[in-house]
Amino acid sequence: MSVPGYDPRMVTTATIAEIGALLGDPARANMMVALLDGRALTARELADRAGIAPQTASSHLHKLATAGMIAMSKQGRHRYHRLASPDVALLLEQMHVAGSVLSTAAPRRTGPQDPAMREARSCYDHLAGRIAVEIGAHLLDDASADGAVALSRRGATTLEAMGIDLAEASASRRGFCRACLDWSERRPHIAGAVGAAMLGTMLERGWLHRRDGTRALLVSATGEQALHRFFGIRAVRA
């Protein structure tokens, strides 16, 4: 099985079964979730996240790499592992949503319990959480669509005012602007080249900061002002 070109419209019953078998192991699932913030990690770091021995982690990572779900690069003495593509990240996020829907446990609030994770978090290379969903509602013509979506005229103007080069994003080999169903909010946030450009800009300008050991993104005082100015959003700062 290989899923770097994963397309939710092309998933078959066999594909679901194969992916389920691969990620049904808690250690492999934990390592994949650890890579969802878009950063590359060593086998030892992933072993620590999964609570297993480094030798065991290497075996799991080999299986994930063979399936095309992770990619490895060598730098100096270390080998770094990351998700193979944004499509794999999309698959993992949607599995979070499906898991919440299919759970037989007592009704509870879906998504992460950490308030900071619910407010803003990274989903591989784009922004997720309440703030991301509100940005999507501000920028998209149809914020309820799934898959490829179109920016509204107001959305394009807003992004250009932020300094995002939409022509460059449009020339990207990946999808220009895609809707990704948010794990906690159950409404779409923006993925694709536009989503990656937004998150990159917000991190570079210090509007958002990563929190160590988690996918949570913390909003700075500058970011609070910028989110309100560009999107009319009132951020909750941690």
pLDDT of 98 reads 56
Distance of CA 71 to the CA centre of its chain: 16
pLDDT of 102 reads 45
* Domains of the chain with CATH codes: 8-87 (1.10.10.10), 111-231 (no CATH)
Q: Are 93 and 127 in contact (CB under 8 A)?
A: no
Instruction: Compute the mean pLDDT over every residue in the chain, rounded to the nearest whole number.
Output: 83
Query: Per residue in 26-79, pLDDT tens?
Result: 899 889 988 888 888 999 999 998 899 988 999 999 999 988 889 998 888 888
pLDDT of 106 reads 47
Pinpoint the alpha helices (H) of the chain.
Answer: 13-23, 26-34, 43-50, 54-66, 86-102, 115-119, 130-139, 153-161, 166-170, 192-204, 221-231
Find the range with the poorest average confidence among 43-47, 105-109, 177-181, 203-207: 105-109
Query: Per residue in 95-116, pLDDT tens?
Result: 765 555 444 454 455 566 788 8
Residue 4 has pLDDT above 60, yes or no: no
- Region 120-137: mean pLDDT is 93
Is the model more confident about 80 or about 95?
80
- Region 170-176: mean pLDDT is 86
Give, in degrees to the nearest 5, the angle at Cα 189 between 186 and 192. Answer: 135
- Region 163-168: mean pLDDT is 94
For residue 213, name the pLDDT band (cuts at 50, 70, 90): confident
Residues 6 or more apart whose Cβ sits within 8 Å of residue 219: 119, 120, 131, 207, 208, 227, 235, 236, 237, 238
Is the model more confident about 122 or about 18?
122
User: Which has the closest alpha carbon to 225: 217, 235, 216, 215?
Assistant: 235
pLDDT of 111 reads 60
Phi, psi of 145 (to 5 degrees): -75, 155
C-alpha–C-alpha distance, residues 81 and 43, integer Å: 7
For residue 14, name the pLDDT band (cuts at 50, 70, 90): low
Find the range with the poorest average confidence among 11-15, 55-59, 194-198, 207-211: 11-15
The token pair at 157 is 């103007």
pLDDT of 208 reads 96
pLDDT of 110 reads 55
